[in-house]
Amino acid sequence: MRAMLLEKVGQPLRLADVPTPQPGSGQLLLRVHACAVCRTDLHILDGELSQPRLPLIPGHQIVGTVVELGAGVERFSLGQRVGVPWLGGTDGTCRYCLRGQENLCEHPEFTGYTLDGGYAEFASADQRYCFHLPDGYSDLEAAPLLCAGLIGYRTYRLAGQHAERLGIYGFGVAAHIITQVAVHQGRQVYALSKPGDTAAQEFARSLGAIWAGGSDELPPVELDAALIFAPVGALIPAALRATAKGGVVVSGGIHMSDIPSFPYSLLWEERSVRSVANLTRQDGEEFLSLAGQVRLHIAVTPFPLELANEALQALREGRLQGAAVLTA
Ligand SMILES: [Zn+2]
Ligand SMILES: [Zn+2]
């Protein structure tokens, strides 16, 4: 099969002809129709996440149909459309797994990082970590739901049920999905893009944000919570400054530049800062069920598989409105 391979950190992916994977026990073999590109893929390519398997087929937002079943598969059948997310496996036995925090598992596997992913014509995946996908979304539209959507949703959920005024810093793929969820649930969304990015601000307003500006501005009201989807550490103190007493700042990214020091007064009055790591399968089931009820508008830019490097570069340079999605 054709696949885009990462052979060495810091180098472009290479189009290669590799053996089609065989589904092992409990695994599905999928014909990949779409695989969305994520900022985490850039962090892996750049060596900011330091332990990828090599050579690696990246990609952890996979939409495919089941073409072969490994022994013992009972959750899916041939021909079904399936989504594969970042969380590709857990031990099920560590103290985190046992207390419902499998996103923090001591021995996890991650799709497109420790396991081969979806920048290819075929992919295999452990059925226990795959999802049924809601109808009403094309393959291209469904792919970004699997990380931008899922991890965006976990980030949003950790902002708490009482956050009426929600700030969203970094208006990329996760933000455009979560804005729609938040508006649907009756929250006020304040979007804060890169300063001067008026296209992103206009996009945010078109999706229901009641205010949009640059991250160097303060929204017109104090925020109950702020979600950060840009890998920029300076946004943490900026978001704290915009947050009301008792407010929470949640960072959704897997990697961020260093956070500059800031005065304790920004954190005082019971403000908090926290991060989000990975996802649990329950996050996935909840979010995909919601996406089945609320028809989310998903903006995508398709790229053929062999142009994965161009798609990654477009993401790096912030040239995309919505998600880059590879099709094989
Ligand atoms: Zn575990
Ligand atoms: Zn991702």
- What pLDDT is attached to residue 204? 97
> Looking at the CA of 96, which ligand is closest?
1
- How remote is the CA of residue 6 from the centroid of ligand 1, in Å? 27
Domain extents in the chain: 2-147+278-327, 159-275
- Tokens standing for residue 313: 């570069």
Mutual angle of helices 148-157 and 281-293, in 10-degree steps: 100
Q: What is the pLDDT of residue 191?
A: 98
Strand order in the sheet with 188-193: 211-214, 188-193, 165-169, 223-228, 243-251, 272-275
User: Quick one: which ligand is closest to 280's CA?
Assistant: 1
- For the chain of 328 residues, list the mean pLDDT of each consecutive stretch of 10: 97 98 97 97 93 95 98 97 98 98 97 98 98 97 97 95 95 95 97 95 97 97 97 97 98 94 98 96 97 96 98 93 93
Q: What is the pLDDT of residue 51?
A: 86
The span from the CA of 90 to the CA of 75, in Å, is 18
One-letter amino acid at 50 equals: S
Q: Which fold has domain 159-275?
A: Rossmann fold (3.40.50)
89's CB contacts (< 8 A; 6+ apart) are 108, 109, 115, 126, 129
Kindly give the distance from the C-alpha atom of residue 281 to the centroid of ligand 1, in angstroms, as a whole number: 13
Residues 6+ apart with CB under 8 A from 298: 137, 140, 141, 142, 144, 145, 176, 177, 322, 323
Ligand of minimum distance to the alpha carbon of 35? 2
Task: Tell me the CA–centroid distance for residue 97 and ligand 1, in Å.
Answer: 4
The Å distance, Cα 32 to ligand 1 centre, comes to 28
* Cβ neighbours of 190 (radius 10 Å): 25
* Cα separations in angstroms, 138 against 75, 81, 143: 22, 11, 9
Residue 270 CA, ligand 1 centroid: distance in Å? 31
CA distance 194 to 318: 10
Helix or strand or coil: residue 196?
coil
**C-alpha Rg value of the chain to the nearest Å:** 19
Spacing, Cα 174 to ligand 1 middle (Å): 26
The per-residue pLDDT for 321 is 82
Is residue 167 within 8 Å of residue 190, measured between CB atoms?
yes
Query: What stretches of 210-320 adopt beta strand conformation (E)?
Result: 211-214, 223-228, 243-251, 272-275, 300-304
Enumerate residues with CB within 5 Å of ligand 2 (an ion). Answer: 38, 40, 147
CATH code of the domain occupying 2-147+278-327: 3.90.180.10
**Ligand found nearest the CA of 143:** 2
Asked if residue 38 lies in contact with residue 148, where contact means CB atoms within 8 angstroms, the answer is yes
Is the distance from CB of 59 to CB of 111 less than 8 angstroms?
yes
Q: Which pLDDT belongs to residue 50?
A: 85
